[in-house]
Each structure stands twice: as C-alpha cells, then as structure tokens.
Amino acid sequence: MAVQVALLFILALVELCASGNPRTKHGYTYKATKNVVQFASETISGQVNQKLQALGLPNQSGREGDVIYNLTNIKIKKVSPPRSSISLVPEEKGIYFGLKDFDMSVDADWQGKYKKGWLQISSKGKVNASLSGISLVETASLDVDESGKPQAYSGGCSFSIGKVDLDFQGNNSIVTNLFRGPIEEKVREIMQRRICEEVVDVVNKNTERTLAGIALISGAASVFLGA
C-alpha cells in the first residue's frame, strides 16, 4: 500500500502540473518544481524493493515437447535497487514511469519429467533464478472530473528481462539441461505477467481512495509545489 500511495500521489502532483508553469482547472492552480520529479524517483526507487519482494507468485506447470514440469513455492528473495525515471507525456495527458537496470533473485521447488520413446527421466529439487537487466515501463494518464477530483488510469505496462540464469541445486547438469529452456521461458512469462498486473491494478483500482487523501496532506504537498 505504501508504494500505491506514493505512486498515485506523484501521479496527481506531476500530471496536474504543467512543465514548470502554473495550470488551472476547476479553480485549482498548480505549479511544478524540480523537487516533484526528485521526490518521485527517490520514493518509488526506495519502496519498490518491498513491493516486489511481497509479490505473490502462483504455482506454475507446463509442457514443451517431451518435457513436463512443475514449479511450486515460488518466492522473490532479493531485488536490487532500480534506476527510476519519471517524465511528462503532454500529448497523452499523462506520465512515463520507468524502473530500469535492476536485478531479482527467485527461488522455487521444481519437478520435471522427460519422456522420449523408451527413455524416461524424472528429477526434482530446488532452483534459483537470477534475473538481470530488468526494465519496467508504465504509462499512466490523469484527468480531473467535474468535482475536481484527480482520476488516474493505466495506459499500458511493459516488462522485460535481459538475462535469466538458472541454478539447479544438487542435480546432475546433464539431466537439468533437459528442463533448463522450458523453465527459463516460464520464469520470464510469469514475472512479466504478474508484475504488470500489479502495476496496472495500482493505477486503475486504487485511485479514488488514495487520491482522496491528498487534500489531507496539503501541507506536505506545498513542499513540492511552487508558490
């Protein structure tokens, strides 16, 4: 919830501000300063670790060719601090929010079966996935309704992973190499889908409740708004 408050608070401040110039709508006047973007980057970058580490990941299963596998007890163990960036997108009445060049570590239990003709191989154990070169980009739009309340909605989310390294603990490499490719692809798929689902949900479903609290902290907001 902390990162939701921070993100939507930032969306409201930044989008309702013209780039360095006052903007008036429904009787409200806003003016941006450099502190807005600086505060946004520092806040989100600092809190994203906690948000991602608490992210729930469902069990996975799949089949690719002669390989059948299951992944259970999937847990995010470590997230390195990302490099964040925020900028206005005037033509879309919104903002661009990016987290780039960060790494993650994911642990899981795995079980697999390889069957081709008379040959059948089964194995199971623990696997660690090291994800590097991760980038997350979200575009969000913000408007003001007739009552003057800010409204935010997601314009799209993209998530990419540069590299995935799998470490199968205590297993013969000849055997685990049979499962390496399919499990790597599944890790990429579930991380992209689950994280983007969370980001879009933050923007689309928590807006009204979170932005309603902005008026209660107008004193804090004045730090980031020009006179």
131-158 per-position pLDDT tens digit: 999 998 887 776 666 776 666 677 788 8
Look up the pTM and report it: 0.70
102-131 per-position pLDDT tens digit: 899 999 999 999 988 898 898 999 999 999
Residue 143 bridge partners (DSSP): 151
Domains (range + CATH), the chain? 2-221 (3.15.10.10)
3-state secondary structure of 126: strand
Q: Count CB-CB contacts under 10 A for residue 34.
A: 9
In the prediction, which pLDDT does 164 show?
94
CA distance 57 to 61: 13
CA distance 128 to 23: 50
| CA 94 to each of CA 40, 113, 222: distance values in angstroms, whole numbers, following the listed order | 15, 48, 21
> What spatial distance separates the first Cα and last Cα of the chain, rounded to whole Å?
30
